């Protein structure tokens, strides 16, 4: 069998083997981690929500305000009619 062939088989065996070893360990670590987290530090959900909002940074907060006031103005003016 050509050297290339044997190299390829070699690479496949070692490579797939290692990928599996790595990810199996990851499965275990992850499961353990999740268990420990849920046991010792129950997740503070609200934080997630907060961050989502924070996502639009300072400048766009300003924007949000601008837009809001605009929207409200819009609404008021409509009321008048």
Partner 1 sequence: MENILNLWTGSGLYNITGGQFAMIVICLCLLYMAIKKKFEPLLLLPIGFGGILANIPEAGLALSAVENALHFQKPEVLAALAEALKVPFEAGQVVTDEVLYSFKEAYKGADSNALAAAQNVAADYGYANGMLKNFYNVVIGSMIGPLLIFMGVGAMTDFGPMLANPKTIMLGAAAQFGIFGTVLGAAFLTSMGIDGMSFTIEEAATIGIIGGADGPTSIFVASQLAPHLLGAIAVAAYSYMALVPVIQPPIMNALTTAAERKIQMVQLRTVGQTEKIIFPIVVLVLVALLLPDAAPLLGMFCLGNLMKESGVVDRLSDTAQNALINIVTIFLGLSVGSKLSADKFLDLQTLGILFLGMAAFAVGTATGVLMAKLMNVFSENKINPLIGSAGVSAVPMAARVSNKVGLDNNPQNFLLMHAMGPNVAGVIGSAVAAGVMIKFLAG
Output b/e per residue, 32-66; b: 16+ Cβ within 10 A: eeeeeeeeeeeeeeeeeeeeeeeeeeeeeeeeeee
Q: CB under 5 to 8 A by kind: which of a second copy, partner 1, none does 51 bind?
A: partner 1
CB of 33 to partner 1, least distance (A): 6
39 binds partner 1 (CB under 8 A): no
- Contact residues toward a second copy (CB under 8 A) are 52-53, 55-56, 59-60, 62-64, 66-68, 70-72, 74-76, 78
């Amino acid at each position: 069998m050509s050297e290339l062939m044997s190299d390829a088989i070699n690479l496949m065996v070692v490579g797939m083997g290692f990928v599996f070893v790595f990810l199996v360990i990851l499965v275990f670590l992850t499961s353990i981690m999740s268990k420990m987290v849920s046991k010792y530090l129950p997740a503070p959900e609200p934080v997630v929500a907060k961050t989502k909002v924070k996502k639009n940074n300072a400048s766009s907060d300003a924007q949000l305000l601008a837009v809001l006031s605009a929207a409200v103005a819009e609404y008021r003016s409509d009321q008048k009619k």
